[in-house]
Structure 1
Amino acid sequence: MIGTDSPVLAVLCGDQHPPDMDSIERSATVRYTRADGLAEALRGADVLFVYDFLSTAVPDAWPAADRLRWVHIASAGVDPVMFPELRASDVVLTNSRGVFDSSIAEYVLGVVLAFAKDFAGSLRLQQECRWRHRETERIGGRTALVVGTGPIGRAIARLLRAAGMRVAGVGRRARDDDPDFGTVYPSERLTEHLPGADYVVAVAPLTEQTKGMFDSAAFAAMRPSARFVNVGRGELVVTEDLVAALRAGELAGAALDVFDTEPLPQDSPLWTMPNVLVSPHMSGDFVGWRNALVAVFADNFQRWRGGQPLRNVVDKTLGYVPSGR
């Protein structure tokens, strides 16, 4: 039975409750809520678990948070909860860094191979019952520029290197001796290094500095044979500029898992472009991912209860977890 001194945990979960919460329910008063009940659930709550990590309900409900000490979001990206009041508060913010690294890296390798081996073309021809021999590309020796050097970007770099690709990174700080990327270029010089890449992979966190970083100038800098892959945030890209660049032949294709508007509107031209692969924000979602997200929170919850340092503490001035934290 939960004692009177048990912490109060609000869980923003939408239509689906998180699994494997039994151990947490035994040591806390848990209030499960949808967005419309979040304000009420936050009154007197010590902790907020944003399980519905796509929800934008937290800023509006924030004034009701009269005792909150810690917010955890069930994703690597924290932009849905990076509003000014939370930034300015003493509330600790943590994320679920590490859960999706390998699965997103596998997705990126998969779409790189799909482009190089023209799997989409083979499927179309199969559906038309047409036998048409073609030559395809190799990925060995091709260059990938990974924009974003956090854990997901590093997992992508390691897997692409293992497949024989040459990889470089783009991040906040330039360096020449990175163990995963080799060379990391500074973000402010992105357009200088885009022309050398066969594949450009966007996995940067969404911040004021990265929002819209892939615009008409960036796409114009890419070689016409390059492919663009976005597994970061939809708002990293100016969608109209991407569509225009694809139509103008400024790049050869795009694989997009995230969009500035989700679900992707049915009238978006991206749906029907022959050189575009669309997936519904699922690059990281492997079988069992929900359980893995709860496991990360449960570990941190026990740490918080025991007065131990939390894992994955977000630097609220940067908008992500710095390396080594």
Structure 2
Amino acid sequence: MIGKEKPVLAVLCGDDQAGDLTGSPAMQGIESTALVRYTGAAGLADALRDADVLFVYDFLSRAVPDAWHAANRLRWLHIASAGVDPVMFPAMRDSDVVLTNSRGVFDDSIAEYVLGVVLSFAKDLHGSLDLQRERRWQHRETERIAGREVLIVGTGPIGRAIARMLRAAGMRVAGAGRRARTGDPDFGTVHASAALAEHLPAYDYVVAVAPLTEQTKGLFDAAAFAAMKPSARFVNVGRGELVVTGDLIEALRSGAIAGAALDVFDTEPLPADSPLWTMPRVLISPHMSGDFLGWRDTLIELFADNFHRWRTGTPLRNVVDKQLGYVPSE
């Protein structure tokens, strides 16, 4: 127990998100046991003064570093996403504040998205839609996905869910992570990300789902795209900053790779003048690959469960290793 005094909880949310929280039975339960301060970015510093806990519900916000000076009593920060890069700055990393994330919420939904875009490429579904709009009856042959080789860069829970789903569809899957190994239950072989370029030529699909760290930022650059098969498709459901966007655009223009499905970008929303919007072999979605019906409620319920654990001294779920930048695998 943390004592009889009500703890102070600061909740960072956008103006259009407050209703998700105040209407949630899970948050209403917390409000009966804590002093809750809902705030946008502009009021975060004031909300953080004497706060014990910060719930970053607006997980795309970059407001936490600028308000951190006011966090004079903070003991725990929870972010409503699997990625923690928006709150992973030096002062946070070096502090005693415990960091948890929402690992596990989006795994299967993102895996379904990846299977969907793989099928869209293989079966030319976007081409069929274009022809339908033109009322053109044009017979084509399409590809099989069974037996195709896939490299999943990122071996955490989301990567594992993707591996299991693609393997079930008949694809041959391998992973890339910090440490090379064989005999992995989901990936079989895992290559070292540090040697990524030497393994890329073997794969028909490359899926980026690694967490954003100093080691993975810009991992997919001109050299990486040049190493891929000209027939390879690239899928990014991790973080936009994993990719050097200009290098990806040039790889698509030159035919170094055959296509890309992109759910995340280094600038979001994707600027209207980006060439990616109109490239013929590019599928774009607005950072929504994990967002299934009811996902907001699930995020709030996960936090509420962790808040109860924190109040009762039970070990928290999804504790992030702040030096690694993610929750270590068990």
Q: Which residue of 2 aligns with 1:6?
A: 6
Identity over aligned residues, as a percent?
79
Structure 1 residue 4: deviation in Å? 7.1
Q: C-alpha distance in 1, partners of 2:78/2:324?
A: 17
Normalised TM-score (structure 1): 0.98
Structure 1 residue 173: deviation in Å? 1.0
Structure 1 segments unaligned to the other structure (5+ residues): none
Q: C-alpha distance in 1, partners of 2:170/2:100?
A: 35
Q: Which residue of 2 aligns with 1:208?
A: 214
Normalised TM-score (structure 2): 0.97
Q: Does 1:302 align with 2:291?
A: no
Residue aligned with 2:256, SS: coil
Residue aligned with 2:145, SS: coil
Q: C-alpha distance in 1, partners of 2:122/2:298?
A: 32
Q: Which residue of 2 aligns with 1:190?
A: 196
Residue aligned with 2:55, SS: strand
Q: Which residue of 2 aligns with 1:103?
A: 109
Residue aligned with 2:291, SS: coil
Q: C-alpha distance in 2, partners of 1:27/1:218?
A: 51
Q: Which residue of 1 aligns with 2:266?
A: 260
Q: Which residue of 2 aligns with 1:112?
A: 118
Q: Which residue of 1 aligns with 2:329?
A: 323
Q: Does 1:235 align with 2:257?
A: no
Residue aligned with 1:31, SS: strand
Give the CA RMSD over aligned residues. Answer: 0.8
Q: C-alpha distance in 2, partners of 1:27/1:84?
A: 32
- Stretch of structure 1 that moved more, 10-19 or 89-98: 10-19
Which of the numbers 262, 271, 278 marks the counterpart of 2:277? 271
Residue aligned with 1:185, SS: strand
Structure 1 residue 144: deviation in Å? 0.4
Structure 1 residue 14: deviation in Å? 1.0
Q: Which residue of 2 aligns with 1:181?
A: 187
Q: Does 1:282 align with 2:281?
A: no
Task: Give deviations 1:240-271, integer Å, cap 9, x for gaps.
Answer: 00000000000000000000000000000000
Paired AA for residue 296 in structure 2: R
Q: Does 1:293 align with 2:320?
A: no
Residue aligned with 1:135, SS: coil
Structure 1 residue 320: deviation in Å? 0.3
Task: Give deviations 1:112-145, integer Å, cap 9, x for gaps.
Answer: 0000000000000000000000000000000100
Structure 1 residue 7: deviation in Å? 0.5
Q: C-alpha distance in 1, partners of 2:4/2:194?
A: 53
Q: C-alpha distance in 2, partners of 1:143/1:284?
A: 23
Structure 1 residue 200: deviation in Å? 0.1
Where do 1:23-38 residues align within 5 Å? 23-38=29-44
Structure 2 segments unaligned to the other structure (5+ residues): none
Residue aligned with 1:99, SS: coil
Residue aligned with 2:173, SS: strand
Paired AA for residue 5 in structure 1: E
Task: Give deviations 1:172-195, integer Å, cap 9, x for gaps.
Answer: 111101000000001111011100
Runs of 4+ in 1 over 6 A off after TM superposition: none
Residue aligned with 1:120, SS: helix
Paired AA for residue 183 in structure 2: D
Q: Which residue of 2 aligns with 1:128?
A: 134
Which of the numbers 26, 42, 48 marks the counterpart of 1:42? 48
Paired AA for residue 166 in structure 2: L
Q: C-alpha distance in 2, partners of 1:135/1:59?
A: 52
